[in-house]
Amino acid sequence: MNKFIDLRSDTVTRPSQQMRKAMYEAEVGDDVFQEDPTVNDLQEFAAELLGKEAALFVSSGVMGNQLCLNVLTNPGDEVICEKDAHIFQYESGSPAVLSGIQLSPIEGKYGVITSEQIEPCIRPASAYYMPRTKVVTIENTHNRAGGTIHPIENILHIKELVKKNNLYFHLDGARIWNASVASKISVREYASHFDSISCCLSKGLGAPVGSIIAGTKEFIKEAFRVRKSWGGGMRQVGILAAAGLYALKNNIERLTEDHQKARALAETINEISSFEIDLNAVQTNIVIFKSNLLSVEQVISDCKEQGLLISEGRPGYLRAITHLDVSFNDIENAKKVLKSLF
Ligand SMILES: Cc1ncc(COP(=O)(O)O)c(C=O)c1O
């Protein structure tokens, strides 16, 4: 093997030749004046795909989530989320820093929280001395739980509760494309149940940068203002938007392949007695597993010596993620490396 097989994340992909061509040829303008035609095309295309009134191109998934929470809340408000949610674990405490809000995490199963769990966490409106619950957020697919899909019936139950209590419902849909392809539920159907959605172009879809947020026109107008205040106003950014547009038009359906690769890898891991894996959690492109004999660091370094890169998932667990830059043949080689470890 003369190159690394990189399964650390689906963010490690490099833009393909065709994507680079689209970027090279992109028409551009000043997006702070909303005059970049490629950015405008991307935002219109994404809004249509997600069935929302408007969409906004933002620099990252974190920026997308945080902009949405900022627009939906006031300082002192509270947002209910799952305990392993990206928003809670991996966004540098930015709900507190950027919006002056706090999170109320609930422990889920496979990343899924239920309306029965959420209901008692909603603060009573009369309790002026408590934070005010304003938003419920879920993550689909759920990264830390292993790319698990949030069941649609559960989403509907939470939505009902959210509406009954006059709250907002936000979706961290960084990998909503994976959920959609695997469940055969359109992204439009998923998005229709939420007030705001953030979804990444730079993960499974293979664009080098960027996320999209979507919601009502009024919501996006305010997000546009806040994005500027956070230094997120970009100029001739059509060069990057072109990659996102290419990704949305060409790279969604092929995610099925990534799911097949993850499944194949997971089944081999399941056959290696020194590894432990919950195959029920392997629903899309993420494989979380654990070694009974070696430490996480040891497995990572032994794999690296043989040209395979994997990472630590939630503490104590290993993580391998399939993506557009690993072939079925790479997965066969990755399996050989894992089998050779013990
Ligand atoms: C579920 C989820 N949300 C948000 C993000 C943040 O995306 P970014 O790294 O583009 O800020 C990630 C990144 O891995 C993620 O997995």
* pLDDT at residue number 2: 52
Q: Interior CA angle at 147 toward 340 and 86, to 5°?
A: 115
* pLDDT at residue number 150: 98
* pLDDT at residue number 1: 43
Q: Answer whether 43's CB lies under 8 Å from 56's CB.
A: yes
282 vs 179: CA distance, rounded Å = 12
> How does residue 52 score in pLDDT terms, banded at 50, 70 and 90?
very high
- Taking the chain, what is the end-to-end CA distance rounded to the nearest angstrom? 20
Share of the chain above pLDDT 70, in %: 99
**Measured from the CB, is residue 179 less than 6 Å from ligand 1?**
no
Domains of the chain, start order: 5-12+254-340 (3.90.1150.10), 17-250 (3.40.640.10)
Q: How many CA atoms lie within 13 A of 105 on its CB side?
A: 14
> How does residue 143 score in pLDDT terms, banded at 50, 70 and 90?
very high
CA of residue 174 to ligand 1 center, whole Å: 6
Residue 109 DSSP class: B
> How does residue 3 score in pLDDT terms, banded at 50, 70 and 90?
confident
**Measured from the CB, is residue 155 less than 6 Å from ligand 1?**
no
Ligand 1 test: best mutation among 81, 200, 288, 319, most atoms within 8 Å of CB? 200
**Measured from the CB, is residue 258 less than 6 Å from ligand 1?**
no
110 vs 106: CA distance, rounded Å = 12
For ligand 1, atom 8: residue with the closest CA: 61
* pLDDT at residue number 24: 98
